[in-house]
Structure 1
C-alpha cells in the first residue's frame, strides 16, 4: 500500500482568482499590472500564483482565454449569424456591449492590454496581435463563405471587409476606454454598416 498522500487542495477558487486577474490586466494593461496588483486582487501569494498559473506571461494568456470565453464570446457567437451583414452587425453590437459592460473596465482587454507596451510587454503585445489577427481571420473566412454562397457580391474582398469590421471594432474599444457611452458607440456601429455591399 502506497504511503503517498494526495497534494494539499488549493485554498482558493482558481477560476474566481483568474477572473480577478483578468480584470486587473483589462484595467491596467500587461505592463501596468504589477505582480503585487495581481496577487492582491486575486487574494493569493506570489508562490500560489506561480504554482497555479505559472509566470506573469502564463497568467496573462490564461486571463486572455477567460476574456475570450467570457466578455469576448460575442466574436464566435456573431459568426453564427445567417448573413454576412448580420455577422458584422452582431460583431459590432457585441463589441459595443463588451466594451461598456457595467462593473467592468471600459474598452477591450485585447486592445488595451498591450498599448504602449515596452520591452517587458513584448510577449503580451505579440500575444494580443495574434489574438486580434485570429478574430479577423474568423471574419474573413465567414465573409469568404458569404461570397461563395452569393450572400456577398462575387467581386467583394472578404479580407478587406473583415479588416474594416475589425478596425471599427477596435476604434469602438478605444472610444469606450475614453468614456464614450454604449448608445453613442452603437450609433457608430450602425453608421459603419450603412453602405454594406448588396448581394
Structure 2
C-alpha cells in the first residue's frame, strides 16, 4: 500500500471555494484565515496541496479563466466579428453582475487593488489579461468581416477596455439591467448593425 494519509478534503471543491473568496475580496483583501475557513482545511493542508497564498492565487486564476470566465475563449469561436464582440461584452455583464456571482471581475480587482507587497499576484493577473487580449487580437486579425478602418489590435484593446469598465461598474454596485443597457449602447456605437465602422 502506498504510504501517507489520504486527503480528507476534495482539492477541486476547496479550490472553488478559494476562487469565490478571492473574487469577492480581492487578493490583498483575502487573508490566509479567510481561505482556510472557506476551504475547510488547515494551513499545513493548504500549503501542502496548493503552496503559499501567491501560488494558490495562480491556480485560482487558471480555474477562473477555465470556469466562470470561459465565455471569453468561447466567444472567439463565434463566426463573425460582431458576434465575437457581443459575446464578450454581454458575457462580461453576466460574469460581473449576474445572479449569484460576486460583483466585479477577479482579474480586474487584482490588477487595481494590489500594493507593492502583492506585485507577483498583480503581475499574474496582468499576464492573464494580456493573454486574453492577445488571443482576441489574433482572432480579429483572421476575420474577413472586420469593418473597414478597424485595426485588430486597437479593437481588441477597446473591447477589453469596455469589459473592464463593466467590471469596475459592477464592483461598485451598478445593477445588471443598467450594465446591460450600457453594453448594448457600446456595441451599437462600436459595430453599428449596418456594418459601418463608427
Calculate the TM-score normalised by the size of structure 2.
Answer: 0.92
Output the CA distance in 1 between the equivalents of 2:113 and 2:18: 20
Output the CA distance in 2 between the equivalents of 1:159 and 1:48: 44
**C-alpha contact 2:26 2:113 (8 A) present in aligned 1:** no
Moved segments of 4+, more than 4 Å? none
The residue correspondences of 1:74-85 to structure 2 (distance < 5 A) are 74-85=71-82
Residue in 2 that maps onto 1:182: 176
CA shift digits 1:172-195 (9 cap, x unpaired): 000111111222111111111113
Residue in 2 that maps onto 1:163: 157
Q: Aligned residue pairs: how many? A: 193
RMSD (Å) for aligned C-alpha atoms: 1.4
1:152 paired with 2:146, answer yes
Calculate the TM-score normalised by the size of structure 1.
Answer: 0.92
Residue in 2 that maps onto 1:43: 40
Show structure 2 runs of 5+ residues with no match.
Answer: none
**C-alpha contact 1:24 1:37 (8 A) present in aligned 2:** yes
CA shift digits 1:66-99 (9 cap, x unpaired): 1111110110111111100110000011111111
The alpha-carbon distance between structure 1 residues 9 and 83, as it changes in their structure 2 partners (threshold 3 A), is same
**C-alpha contact 1:28 1:113 (8 A) present in aligned 2:** no
The alpha-carbon distance between structure 1 residues 154 and 114, as it changes in their structure 2 partners (threshold 3 A), is closer
Show structure 1 runs of 5+ residues with no match.
Answer: none
